[in-house]
Amino acid sequence: MAKVPLDAEAVLSATEEVLRRHGPAKATVVDVARALGVSHTAVYKHFPSKAALREAVTRRWLDRGRDSLAAIAADTSSAPAARLRGWLFAVLAAKRAKATEDPQLYAAYALLVAEHSDVAAEHVADLLEQLRTLIADGFAVPDPAATARAVFDATTRFHHPAHTAEWDCAAIESDLDAVCALLLDGLPQKGNFS
Amino acid sequence: MAKVPLDAEAVLSATEEVLRRHGPAKATVVDVARALGVSHTAVYKHFPSKAALREAVTRRWLDRGRDSLAAIAADTSSAPAARLRGWLFAVLAAKRAKATEDPQLYAAYALLVAEHSDVAAEHVADLLEQLRTLIADGFAVPDPAATARAVFDATTRFHHPAHTAEWDCAAIESDLDAVCALLLDGLPQKGNFS
């Protein structure tokens, strides 16, 4: 291993690979240190605990792809109903892709959700803010944040990791489509789009 | 133990008590036989396997209380919107009561849901049929079964056992209220109630 100065980013990258190889139940800080060719105390200089390291890695992993979701939410060139539907389908597709393509990191994320970690709460807060922006821009509702919360709750089956196994079912997209139709029937679009 | 003739009902009652005492992970058919003062082969005469016994007990346990939900769904004297809202709140209250008052039986049920058991599928089918009847009676929609499915999916957070821990949160009822309002805004009521 090259003895370059150890920065937090290198620790995170190594931890991601270790998690991918061993899974969240078996990965240890010693594994991370070994992968970097340093002592575990060197790792602890950057992250005070294994839990803090796991949270930081999961946060970085979740953040990847969030910009493309935010771009859909902010795309005012598409009609509000199509944009809301497109965003909800993109969230499902992104979650499903992460679960399928990166199962060990996804398992680490699902554990943090089950433990009510701040990382999971921040992730939900980020998605809710994207949704609030979309709804405030496109729909005539008195309290866009409250409507965003209700839409997010009503689509729990399509984004909460407890339901990951259901996303393999062929009907999942038509199920989401039916929920979108029901929600959109009750949401008045603004301006030119109504 | 009295040596009365052993019927299936007695086996189910004993199994329910054993599950309540030991939990689904530790309860065995030998425990059930011991509680009844019979051999485990006598128990197997009524239920071919431990899994079959556990399913039968959970089915019976889930069925308790289903009639009062069905009565809400069928109460045509209340306006459709109030009836739909009332039914969804009653489902949440019933699930939460079962989780709180009978945690070991609830854990057995949650396990069957996670394993995609027929018992869980039948329970969902029963609730969907109640909801379909309510919607067919009260709302002007082209396909009441499809609308029932969409309403059930949109309220997953408020009835699926994966979310049980969230039902302790003070906001859960106002969250369900907001989802109900959103759904009802899109559902045209029939006749005198619109």
Predicted confidence band of residue B65 (pLDDT cuts 50, 70, 90): confident
Question: Which amino acid would we find at residue B48?
Answer: P
Binary contact (A187, B184; C-beta < 8 A): no
Residue-wise pLDDT for A39-78, tens only, equals 999 999 999 999 999 999 999 999 998 999 999 999 999 9
Q: Is the pLDDT of residue A3 over 80?
A: no
The region that residue B187 occupies, defined by phi over 0 for left and psi between -120 and 50 for alpha, beta otherwise, is beta
* Separation between Cα atoms, residue A92 and residue A72, nearest integer Å: 13
**Residues in contact with B41: Cβ distance below 8 Å, sequence separation at least 6, in sequence order:** none
Q: pLDDT of B26-50, one tens digit each?
A: 999 999 999 999 999 999 999 999 9
- The distance of B57 to chain A (nearest Cα, Å) reads 25
Report the distance separating Cα A145 and Cα A132, nearest Å. Answer: 5
pLDDT (tens digit, 9 = 90+) per residue, B147-187?
A: 999 999 999 999 999 999 999 988 999 999 999 999 999 88
Do the beta carbons of residue A175 and residue B153 sit within 8 Å?
yes
**Neighbouring C-beta atoms of residue B76, cutoff 10 Å:** 12
Identify residue B55 by its one-letter amino acid code: E
DSSP-based three-state secondary structure for B189: strand
Is residue A1 exposed (0-12), middle (13-18) or buried (19+ Cβ within 10 Å)? exposed
pLDDT at residue A5, rounded to an integer: 72
Yes or no, beta carbons of A184 and B186 under 8 Å apart:
yes
Give chain A's domains with CATH numbers: 8-60 (1.10.10.60), 64-188 (1.10.357.10)
Test the A interface: residue of B84, B156, B164, B169 with most A CBs within 10 Å: B156
**Residue B188 gets which letter from DSSP?**
P
What amino acid occupies position A171?
A: A
Inspect the interface and report whether the beta carbons of B154 and A155 lie closer than 8 Å: yes
A128 in B contact zone (CB under 8 Å): no
**pLDDT of A145 higher than 70:** yes
Which of residues A35 and B4 earns the better pLDDT score? A35
Distance in Å, alpha carbon of A61 to nearest chain B alpha carbon: 24
Q: How distant, in Å, are the alpha carbons of A6, A12, B17 from that of B24? A: 48, 40, 11
Residue A1 has pLDDT above 70, yes or no: no
Nearest CA to A66 out of A21, A156, A160, A130 is that of A130
| Probe site for chain A from B131, B182, B187 (most A CB atoms < 10 A) | B182
**B60 in A contact zone (CB under 8 Å):** no
**ipTM tops the 0.85 cut:** yes
Per residue in A152-190, pLDDT (tens digit) is 999 999 999 999 999 998 899 999 999 999 999 988 888
What average pLDDT does this structure show over A82-102? 97
How many beta carbons lie within 10 A of that of residue B2, not counting itself? 5
Give the residue-averaged pLDDT of A64-93.
95
B42 and A CB contact within 8 Å: no
Tokens of B165: 């821990």
Record: contact B153-A175, CB cut-off 8 A: yes
Q: Which two tokens stand for residue B64?
A: 């308790």
Structure tokens at A140: 């005539």
